[in-house]
């Protein structure tokens, strides 16, 4: 018990320089949660905020690829990796010997790892900590919710089709159950514009996110279309919001960030 108390005290001391905390979550995997977390964090940093990005997806830590730092190691376990003047990042991936290595951990080990990431990493004084959670409502989500203390809110990411919508409702309920306010829902991969004929195609359907926001009385933060460029910029480690700087998709990403900041800072 004493050890747990010491750990919790260390965590609280460590995160007390963080002004605002945002948790990005989704019920279903593959809805673009890491892509969105990366772009939100990068966008906030571009606007002059000091930002930390914590990749809490232990089984599939993809943030390093999306920031172009996959395979990098940390100079010290206590120091996040600096992406630019305003953005630093920590991912379990930095601690792996080999990027291919699967994290075959049962729940308690995962809880321990996340507590360690939160307790040992020196985030310093920052405006925002953006936490990218793995999909679902398991150990990682619970630990983050219970350890971070007051969280400004969660951003729920979904794609428009029914199977994703059902799972996003679970995330909203989870967020409320653990007393984490829901900042709102983002409908990602909402429509695709064919680069050949410019026609719009709703591959994953459309409007599901908006509907769930009404049904469950939470804010709708916006729709972000599916584009090959979003996939490419992710794989190339150059976040869309940084590498594109204009166009419909850029604007919709920017609107999501503006809404989040407005909800938090007023």
Nearest to 143 by CA among 176, 116, 119, 114: 114
Verify binding: residue 9, a second copy, rule CB under 8 A.
no
Tell me the Cα Rg of the chain.
18
3 state DSSP class of 7: helix
The single residue among 59, 238, 244, 263 that binds a second copy, judged by CB under 8 A, is: 59
- Binding span for a second copy by CB under 8 A among 47-55, 84-92, 116-124, 197-205: 197-205
- Binding span for a second copy by CB under 8 A among 1-9, 63-71, 179-187, 241-249: 63-71
Minimum CB separation from a second copy for residue 6, in Å? 22
- Could you give the dihedral angle defined by the CA atoms of residues 110, 157, 125 and 261, in that order, rounded to the nearest 10 degrees? -160
CA distances from 116 to 32, 120, 201, 215 (A): 26, 6, 44, 38
Minimum CB separation from a second copy for residue 230, in Å? 9
Contact set for a second copy, span 162-191 (CB under 8 A): 162-164, 166-167, 169-171, 173-174, 177-178
CA gap 43, 30 in Å, rounded? 21
- Binding span for a second copy by CB under 8 A among 83-91, 107-115, 121-129, 249-257: 107-115
Verify binding: residue 265, a second copy, rule CB under 8 A.
no
Nearest to 224 by CA among 253, 193, 259, 185: 253
End-to-end CA distance of the chain: 40
Minimum CB separation from a second copy for residue 238, in Å? 13
Minimum CB separation from a second copy for residue 39, in Å? 14
The greatest distance separating any two alpha carbons of the chain, rounded to the nearest whole angstrom, comes to 65
Which residues would be at the binding site for a second copy (CB under 8 A)? 27-31, 34, 58-60, 62, 65-66, 70, 99-108, 110-111, 134-139, 141-142, 159, 161-164, 166-167, 169-171, 173-174, 177-178, 192, 194-197, 199, 201-205, 226, 228, 231-232, 234-235
């Amino acid at each position: 018990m004493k050890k747990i108390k010491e750990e919790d005290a260390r965590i609280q001391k460590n995160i007390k320089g963080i002004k605002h905390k945002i948790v990005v979550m989704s019920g279903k995997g593959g809805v673009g949660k890491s892509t969105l977390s990366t772009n939100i964090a990068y966008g906030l940093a571009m606007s002059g905020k000091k930002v930390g990005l914590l990749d809490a997806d232990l089984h599939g830590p993809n943030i390093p690829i999306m920031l172009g730092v996959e395979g990098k190691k940390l100079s010290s376990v206590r120091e996040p990796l600096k992406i630019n003047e305003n953005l630093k990042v920590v991912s379990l991936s930095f601690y792996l010997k080999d990027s291919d290595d699967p994290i075959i951990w049962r729940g308690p080990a995962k809880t321990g790892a996340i507590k360690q990431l939160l307790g040992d990493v020196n985030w310093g004084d920052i405006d925002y900590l953006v936490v990218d959670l793995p999909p679902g409502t398991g150990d990682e989500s619970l630990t983050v919710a219970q350890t971070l203390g007051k969280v400004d809110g969660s951003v729920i990411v979904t794609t428009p089709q029914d199977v994703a919508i059902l799972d996003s409702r679970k995330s909203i309920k989870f967020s409320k159950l653990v007393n984490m306010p829901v900042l709102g829902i983002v409908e990602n991969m909402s429509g695709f514009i064919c680069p050949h004929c410019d026609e719009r195609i709703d591959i994953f359907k459309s409007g599901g996110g908006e509907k769930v926001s009404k049904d469950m009385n939470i804010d709708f933060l916006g729709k972000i279309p599916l584009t090959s460029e979003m996939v490419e910029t992710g794989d190339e480690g150059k976040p869309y919001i940084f590498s594109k700087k204009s166009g419909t998709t850029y604007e919709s990403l920017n609107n999501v960030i503006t809404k989040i900041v407005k909800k938090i800072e007023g």
